[in-house]
Amino acid sequence: MSHLAVAKTYKLFIGGAFPRSESGRTYPATGGPGGSTHANVAQGSRKDARDAVVAARKAVKGWSGSTAYNRGQVIYRIAEMLEGRRAQFVEILGGGTRNGAAVDNAIDRLVHYAGWTDKLAAVFGGANPVAGPYFSFSTPEPTGVVAAVAPQEDPLLGLVSVIAPIITSGNSVVVIAAQQQPLAAVTLAEVLATSDLPGGVVNILTGDPAEIAPHLAAHGDVNALDLTGTSGSLRVDLERAAAGTVKRVYAPAPQDFSRLPGTARLRAFLEIKTVWHPTGAVSLAGGGGY
């Protein structure tokens, strides 16, 4: 008797857990010769997006409040876990030297951002020269909950390149994975779940960005949008929806993720807070000072 292959059905990744979509919908993730079905993935809905935002909001305080050193260690641990499953990810992407390089670059990208966590304050903050008896300094702080649309054409390296800089600075993220190539994202969710990353810091939704993203763009508890994986009318619609709650929006031009990243993604979801403090003695009527 021949064996009947059973395709795996992947779930969403929300709050560190793997729930089914509340809609009960799935769609086939195809690939390989002849476009055969490798697995089924959940098709996320508006309710799933709202649940993911709730999880991200709960996680952001603890994550942003952790030390920069700790965040760096956690992100480095994700790189270690991804390295341990390298062969699986190369196979998911289709095999070959090119996809092997994409996985290696994704691992290196995580290590790169792990090294940034304790350098953000020094690079993007500092003392400000002012005219007067004051000391003024600026320090970067995370924006909060970021909703992102991952690149459609680069399912692993592009996804990692979007997620890593967001969480490096203490933000949490709800990301919509590449709709037609979701297997790398849902497998990355398994890596995240078995690393030291607190639940809710990264939430991964699968499905149609045109269906899910507008709800995230208009959500009052989402602080910022990363529209990397959008273009055309969808991007315009999301920017307009974000204006209703005055969100920070990052809408970069198409890019080659295999190239070394600059600092634009790190700066995109940092808010620079400036503090003024009196210095020196100020004479009072009685001759005293403070």
Domains in the chain, start-ordered, CATH in brackets?
10-15+43-278 (3.40.605.10)
- The full DSSP string for 119-157 is THHHHH-EEE--SSSEEEEEEEEE--EEEEE--SS-TTH
DSSP one-letter code for 34: G
**Cα gap 135→16, rounded to integer Å:** 43
Going residue by residue through the chain (290 aa), what tens digit of pLDDT does each one get?
A: 787 777 789 999 999 999 999 999 999 986 544 445 578 999 999 999 999 999 999 999 999 999 999 999 999 999 999 999 999 999 999 999 999 999 999 999 999 999 999 999 999 998 888 888 888 888 899 999 999 999 999 999 999 999 999 999 999 999 999 999 999 999 999 999 999 999 999 999 999 999 999 999 999 999 999 999 999 999 999 999 999 999 999 999 999 999 989 999 999 999 998 888 888 755 444 444 33
DSSP one-letter code for 261: P
Q: Answer for the pair 12, 44: CB distance below 8 angstroms, yes or no.
A: yes
**Cα gap 175→224, rounded to integer Å:** 12
